[in-house]
Structure 1
Amino acid sequence: MDEGKPAVSLKKRRAAVILLMTMVLLGVFPLDVLLPSFPALAEHFRTTPADIAFSISLFAVGISVSQLLIGPLSDRIGRKGLLLAGMAVSIIGATGCLLSTEYPWFLVFRLVQAIGCGCFVLTQALVQDLFEGKERDRLRILMVTASGIFISISPLAGTLLQQALDWPGSFVAFIALAGAVFLKACFFLENQRPTNVIRQGIVQSYRVVYRDAGFLGYWLIASIAFACHFSFIVISPLIFMDQLQLSPYAFSLTLLLYGLAYIIGGIIARLIGGRIAPNTQIIVGLGLIFFAGLMMLMLSTWLGLSTLTVLVPMIICTAGTTIARPVATSKAMEVFPDKAGTSAAAGNTLVFIFGGLISALINLSSTDLQTTLALSFLLLSAFGIGLNALITRRHRVLSVG
């Protein structure tokens, strides 16, 4: 797919970056920005915050199933039509949530919104289609950096939207952004069907990509890097608000500092990207995560739980995530360049499942979350470094053979 790819003009590259960044921003609204509105939603639908939390779980299931279908389909019929259809369905779902007066109907429309949001999986496929080489790697670093920044500011954004527009605020903002993505995709993306596509069933397509050890290994490394970040995001309210008794506003400001780590990591990743080999970049990123786990463990033992003993190691960990995850993703996506949609869906599903499982396991240790988080970083990064060594050794054996 990369061979013979026509050069993309500077104007088109800028338009592509704007489209992709808007999709990354849009991805935080259905989950992260909605969190501060849980009490208001529970009051509006005359239910409990636990029921509203269930809608988040339902959304996650819906988007996971949807992207598993959208990825392979995009390899057959192209990206543009599926992206436009997904955005339209997500807008219908969000509008239905706004107009719902009963909790069951709210759940139905949240599921509709999730099915539409499955088209977000096409961001990785579009990167693979529209960019090449180092430019592609730089864009993936930018996307991971932007995602982390958006997630870190999302509680504050959700609080401001809640104050200004009550619980409908996040849905209104989502509809506006989704409409912008729809229009941008309409005018920017070409209605181009993939060439030389091998006609396979969806199950067969996934069987092919998951059987490749290199593909699976690199996506597992990306999953490990993501899980370290995601686990902290999931348990951060328990650490900062429940255990350290920070106010929601102070918690939001704390996560703003966490967002700086993504900027630092992105700068480091860009600096070393063209100077050291990809597998060495992975080792550097995972090494920083290991060091962060060791530091958090030592600080928790010596100084106990505080904002600094959690936040300082997390800044180092997040820098490692920003270095390791984009390059691991790029290496995985290069294995099947003509199946970018299937590859992205297969990998993102693995990332999501892995992050969810690890965060759930850490959450079980409600008494000492800091120590559990630190030990998780140590074990995950060590596993990732070992996995990277196995992949490198396998490539050497294959090249010699």
Structure 2
Amino acid sequence: MMRDTQRTPPGLLTLILLSSLSIVSLNLFLPSLPNMARDLDTDYATVSLAIAGYSAVAAVLLLIVGPASDRYGRRPVILGGLAIFCVASLGCLLATDIVTFLCFRMLQAAIIAGFAVSRAAISDTAAAGKAASLMGYLAMAWAIAPMLGPVVGGVLDELFGWRASFLAFLTLGCALFVLCWFDVGERWPDKSGQLS
């Protein structure tokens, strides 16, 4: 029997995974930058724009995602962000030049919706005391993910090459999209623009 996502809040594991992927996508491939520069026939400084540009786009999106999820609902924003992230990850995986790679890399910043909406989902569905406890779990994910990301990315690069990190992003993004499809409920705006 399918879960009633209209009335049931998303599971804590779903929220942790959303937040973690949002954070680990920033630095998983850091150990691969020199190999990426060689393979894409560019210099290290140029390929490093994959980090700075991503961070800049993510910062702008954070200003947009919150109000958009308030206006249009949590579900479409989170699924839309994941869908864009998956397409962008595929683009990065298949890129053969630095310009194409950087364009798709900027689009990957759409995953920041997972970070913003996870926090909003807790505020929506939990009482103040419980919300603080749930935020603590998310905070642990925010602390651990940036530490583990480069370690895992380094292993992937050593064993399979730099594109393995983006294959991992694509795989994780698609799996999380399916999970969120069934687990992230909806709140719809009423005629006044308020979510009910």
TM-score by length of 2: 0.88
Distance 1:29 1:155 in 2: 8
In the other structure, the counterpart of 2:132 is 137
Spell out the pairing of 1:216-255 with structure 2 (5 A cutoff).
Answer: none
Q: Which one of the candidate residues 113, 127, 130 is aligned to 1:119?
A: 113
Distance 1:197 1:61 in 2: 33
Native 8 Å contact 2:22 2:112 kept in 1 = no
Q: Which one of the candidate residues 8, 11, 15 is aligned to 1:20?
A: 15
Distance 2:118 2:171 in 1: 19
Distance 1:51 1:25 in 2: 27
Shift of 1:191: 2.9
Q: Does 1:54 align with 2:49?
A: yes
Larger CA Rg, structure 1 vs 2: 1
In the other structure, the counterpart of 1:170 is 165
More moved, 151-160 vs 71-80:
151-160
In the other structure, the counterpart of 1:384 is none
Distance 1:142 1:182 in 2: 21
Shift of 1:189: 2.0
Native 8 Å contact 2:24 2:146 kept in 1 = no
Q: CA RMSD in A?
A: 2.0
Distance 1:198 1:85 in 2: 20
In the other structure, the counterpart of 2:182 is 187
In the other structure, the counterpart of 1:353 is none
In the other structure, the counterpart of 2:89 is 94
Q: Which one of the candidate residues 63, 68, 71 is aligned to 1:68?
A: 63
SS at match of 1:111: helix
Distance 1:169-1:29 versus aligned 2 partners, 3 A rule = farther
Shift of 1:131: 1.6
Spell out the pairing of 1:158-307 with structure 2 (5 A cutoff).
Answer: 158-194=153-189
Give the unaligned 5+ runs of structure 1: 1-11, 200-337, 339-401
Shift of 1:133: 2.0
Native 8 Å contact 1:33 1:157 kept in 2 = yes
Shift of 1:65: 1.6
SS at match of 2:41: coil
Query: What stretches of structure 1 move > 3 A for 4+ residues in a row?
Result: 194-199
In the other structure, the counterpart of 2:144 is 149
SS at match of 1:28: helix
TM-score by length of 1: 0.44
Q: Which one of the candidate residues 10, 24, 28 is aligned to 1:29?
A: 24
Native 8 Å contact 1:75 1:197 kept in 2 = no
Q: Does 1:105 align with 2:100?
A: yes
Give the unaligned 5+ runs of structure 2: 1-7
Distance 1:28 1:169 in 2: 18
Shift of 1:71: 1.2
Aligned letter for 2:113?
C
Distance 2:127 2:59 in 1: 27
Distance 1:168 1:130 in 2: 38
Shift of 1:25: 2.0
In the other structure, the counterpart of 1:244 is none
Q: Deviations over 1:25-60 (max 9, x none)?
A: 212332211110111111111111111111211111
Higher helix share: 1
Shift of 1:198: 5.5
In the other structure, the counterpart of 1:82 is 77
Q: Deviations over 1:155-193 (max 9, x none)?
A: 211111112221012111111221122111111122321
Aligned letter for 1:169?
A
Shift of 1:195: 5.1
Distance 1:190-1:27 versus aligned 2 partners, 3 A rule = closer
Aligned letter for 2:122?
V
Shift of 1:118: 3.2
